[in-house]
Structure 1
Amino acid sequence: MRTRPLKVALLGCGVVGSEVARIMTTHADDLTARIGAPVELAGVAVRRPSKVREGIDPALVTTDATALLKRGDIDVVIEVIGGIEPARTLITTAFENGASVVSANKALLAQDGAALHAAAEQHGLDLYYEAAVAGAIPLVRPMRESLAGDKINRVMGIVNGTTNFILDKMDSTGAGYQEALDEATALGYAEADPTADVEGYDAAAKAAILAGIAFHTRVRLDDVYREGMTEVSAADFASAKRMGCTIKLLAILERAADGESVTARVHPAMIPLSHPLASVREAYNAVFVEAEAAGRLMFYGPGAGGSPTASAVLGDLVAVCRNKLAEATGPGESAYTQLPVSPMGDVVTRYHISLDVADKPGVLAQVATTFAEHGVSIDTVRQQGKDGEASLVVVTHRAPDAALSGTVEALRKLDTVRGVASIMRVEGE
């Protein structure tokens, strides 16, 4: 066994970074045995050096991350800062100075993953990022390596624990959106500003990363269609239950039937209670992968938090350190297909539309005609009326999203339609 330790620089020491440092210290002997050489925490770059960090030697703490990376003796850099800058510049600096990188930075990878992979390849180094998607769940590496010989056609999953907690509470208790959000905030599942979660930005970044891996093509954050879940209501859940469904915020990545393009989207959707994703509760994540040879695979577990995310980081650290000892690198970016990302209008699925209409004869016929004129076939209709007001719930057969959008625009112009209360896609059937 090699006796000279592999030296690790830790960038960021918040909830995840401090847990990474703790595990590296308490499990040092196990990590040495698994890697084949000792691993030494050589420096920790932070913004507030005066903060007490239990278990970390204050002599290792620095505010000059660039100087730490340029020391010349760092073998691996763990980046858990988050955000675009200074993380992007620091990762590039690490590569330029001979260090492989383990990152949990989904936003940066979704935006600039191609450039970072190119920099890693240029310098003959590794870029690993299991922790960037779905926390502790082994997902990135199985898709990059275990399924490398297969063809993935579809990925559908719950990749944000905060939104799943909120929607689960709305489903199980009948709470409204704000009430469920307040509970998530009180329990620490939601940030003080939950926008990144509830508006789907977090899930969209993860969707971009997974789509690139699944389809061997470059998918950026801007390519992912995104809708948040702040408009989901108790009435939507009541309708979903009548259909034998529940509602989840889903990341859905699909290869076109002809194999010539892909789509990537994040939005709330109704899914049947019989689907495995319907039973995912609380703040858990789960991802459903459909491959040609392997069939349907389900990955499930805690998707966030200090310990689960640190577990994924340490798994990558072990792999990267082993590669260092073998003077080899693991799999890099695979983007050989260069498939275009189709717009949301090309997506074909079913829809649940709730309309507020006048309660008088002929309304249903007028609405049905509007759907037919735009090539959207109706599956079921449910109407309830009282005192001149009525609600009309229409569930369609599969149709292109563009056709549905045209239908809704036309419905809003009808004198008998007083409002479109809700539009939700129906998935997983």
Structure 2
Amino acid sequence: MKNEINIGLLGFGVVGSGVAKILENHQEDLRHKLGVPVEIKKVLVKDQHKKRDTALSSDIFTTDLNEILEDPSIDLIVEVIGGTCEAKEAIESSLRAGKGVVTANKDVMAEYGPGLLQLADDNKCDLFYEASVGGGIPLIRTLEDGLASDRISALTGIVNGTTNFILTKMKHDKMSYEDALAEATELGFAEADPSADVDGIDAARKMVILASLAFSTEVLLEDVFVRGLKEIRDGDLELAEQFGYTVKLAGSAKKNSDGIEVAVEPVLFPNSHPLASVNNEFNAVYVYGDAVGETMFYGPGAGSLPTATSVTGDIVAACRNLLMGVNGKRPHAPQYERKVKSDETKLARYFHRIRVRDEIGVLTKLTAIYSSQGASLATVIQHSDKTETDADLIFITHQISRKQHLNIVAELNQTPEVIGLLSHYRVEGE
């Protein structure tokens, strides 16, 4: 029986320092839960002599990963380096050295997760990654354990705090996209280069991880349909509000007998839907299970201590496995073969905002396009432009396939009376 657990911490940035702080401040609680102390033995950093605000001794910092991997007293590796290549190599080296790993790295797990999980199985090691999605929300543990006996049919949610903060400011404070992004950057919610967030890539990586777990199948980043905030046009948020909707950049994953579909894009939620009221940097994920029905998980999606809390939760789980001698004994192989839906079987309602010439017969001509594609319309409203020569037509369809939607878009763009399809959104949550 081990009388202590020693950790090798890779990285000491925002999350790494948060993990160290929690481990330092919660030693009594951890000892009570595990029966042994949990200590950080070594910390991998780029600059060993940099001045740091920490109670950790300066001699535990190192720039040499091998010094950590070759230390037999270190039981567990916590990877919070960030990035992709260096972190992936560090995780692989740790697993090959027979040391379990806790990581917060969504980029690595989204792109290389299946291979790393297989490597963990091969080396009888644990690989935990709760903090890779949802910050302080225990989503992955819920999908793996809490809902393990249920069959998940769909999940949808807000999994990127930066874009949710921007949309909240645009809606409630009437900010422009540029001003909202500038405030998000100033507050630390957005990176200097925010493209991964605002283009939907960050959320897509998280949806790959969640969908793979929820459906017990391999999901690739290339399977995710992605549209970012730049698809939102001036006036769209106000129009959505007039119709009783809120625009959110949301991830969705659905599964039925036709296969899976995963998407990240701006969508319209009815104002009565719980996700419509999730504001600022908060995340929330709505899960649909055959047995449990509908459940929602809500909390801070980023930040030093929320993310570090999830990392520490994984540390506790990994320590328990080590103490009981059951580490590396949970198989990670997917249950089902990868099967992705075709556009003919992806069904949704759609919101179309179309700028047209304000002429007699235009409405009839456009509705005929929808009819020819087998699409029925739930809502048809005209907004006249101030020039009185153009108008905006707002169409909301009943449920149609993505193939029908694409065909309609193509026909609209070829119609002389159509100045342009200004915007289009999926309508969720109804």
Q: Which TM-score applies when normalising by structure 1? A: 0.96
Q: Distance in 1 between matches of 2:31 and 2:272?
A: 45
2:228 match: secondary structure: coil
SS of structure 2 residue aligned to 1:354: strand
Contact 2:233 2:422 in 1 (8 A): no
Map of 1:155 onto structure 2: 155
Indicate the larger mover: 211-220 or 2-11: 2-11
Report the residue type matching 1:294 in the other structure: V
Deviation (angstroms), 1:14: 0.5
Preserved contact between residue 2 and residue 323 of structure 2 (Cα < 8 Å): no
For 1:57 and 1:216, the matched residues in 2 are separated by 43
C-alpha distance in structure 1 between counterparts of 2:86 and 2:207, whole Å: 23
Q: Which amino acid aligns with 2:334?
A: A
Specify the code of the residue in structure 1 equivalent to 2:286: F
2:262 matched residue in structure 1: 264
Residue number in structure 2 paired with 1:192: 192
Asked if the contact 1:152–1:292 (Cα under 8 Å) also holds between the matched residues in 2, the reply is yes
TM-score by length of 2: 0.96
Shift of 1:298: 0.8
**Which amino acid is the alignment partner of residue 425 of structure 2?**
M
Q: For residues 412 and 176 of structure 1, what CA distance do their matches in structure 2 show?
A: 28
Tell me which of 312, 317, 320 is aligned to 1:322: 320
Return closer, same or farther for 1:202/1:424 CA change in 2, 3 Å cut-off. Answer: same
The one-letter amino acid paired with 1:352 is F
Query: How many angstroms does 1:353 deviate by?
Result: 0.7
Match of 1:130 in 2: 130
Task: Compute the displacement of 1:54 (Å).
Answer: 1.8
Q: Which amino acid aligns with 1:414?
A: T
The residue number in structure 2 matching 1:10 is 9
Q: Distance in 1 between matches of 2:117 and 2:187?
A: 37
Q: Kindly indicate whether the alpha-carbon contact (under 8 Å) linking 1:36 and 1:322 is maintained by their aligned counterparts in 2.
A: no
Pair 1:97 & 2:97 matched: yes
Report the Cα offset of residue 176 of structure 1: 2.0
Aligned partner of residue 269 in structure 1, secondary structure: strand
Aligned to 2:409: 408
2:87 paired residue number:
87
Aligned partners of 1:188, 1:232: CA distance in 2, in Å?
Answer: 23
Contact 1:144 1:331 in 2 (8 A): no
> Using the alignment, how far apart are the partners of 1:333 and 1:260 within structure 2?
24
SS in 2 for 1:230: helix
Which stretch has the larger CA shift, 177-186 or 319-328? 177-186
**Contact preservation (8 Å) 1:3, 1:38:** no
Paired AA for residue 208 in structure 2: A
Q: What are structure 2's unaligned runs of at least 5 residues?
A: none
The 1-side partners of 2:344 and 2:72 are apart by: 51
SS of structure 2 residue aligned to 1:357: strand
Q: Distance in 2 between matches of 1:260 and 1:355?
A: 32
Tell me the CA shift for residue 22 of structure 1: 1.4
Distance in 2 between residues matched to 1:298 and 1:401, nearest whole Å: 27
Deviation at 1:234, TM superposition (A): 4.2
Say yes or no: does 1:139 pair with 2:178: no
Shift of 1:71: 2.3
Q: How many residues align?
A: 426
Distance 1:158 1:230, change over 3 A: same
Contact 2:219 2:338 (8 Å CA) reproduced? no
| Corresponding position of 1:310 | 308
Give the whole-Å Cα distance in 2 for the aligned partners of 1:43 and 1:309: 21
Over 3 Å counting, the alpha-carbon distance change for 1:332 and 1:47 in structure 2 is farther
Output the amino acid matched with 2:75. D
CA shift, 1:409, in A, is 1.1
Report the more deviating stretch, 400-409 or 341-350: 341-350
Cα RMSD after superposing both structures: 1.4
Amino acid at match of 2:52: R
Greater mean deviation of Cα atoms: 338-347 or 378-387: 338-347
- Check the 8 A contact 2:348/2:399 in 1, yes or no: yes
Contact 2:136 2:306 survives alignment (8 Å): yes
1:120 aligns with 2:94: no
What SS class does the counterpart of residue 145 from structure 2 fall into?
A: helix
Matching of residues 315-394 of structure 1 within 5 Å = 315-329=313-327, 331-343=330-342, 346-385=345-384, 386-394=387-395
Partner of 1:86, secondary structure, is helix
- Whether the 8 Å contact between 2:44 and 2:62 is mirrored in structure 1 is yes
> How far apart are the structure 1 equivalents of 2:126 and 2:363?
60
Residues 213-255 of structure 1 show CA distances to partners (whole Å, capped at 9, x for unaligned) of 1001011222211111123234111111111110111110101
Q: Is the 8 A contact 1:261 1:340 kept in 2?
A: yes
8 A Cα contact 1:198 1:230, kept in partner: yes
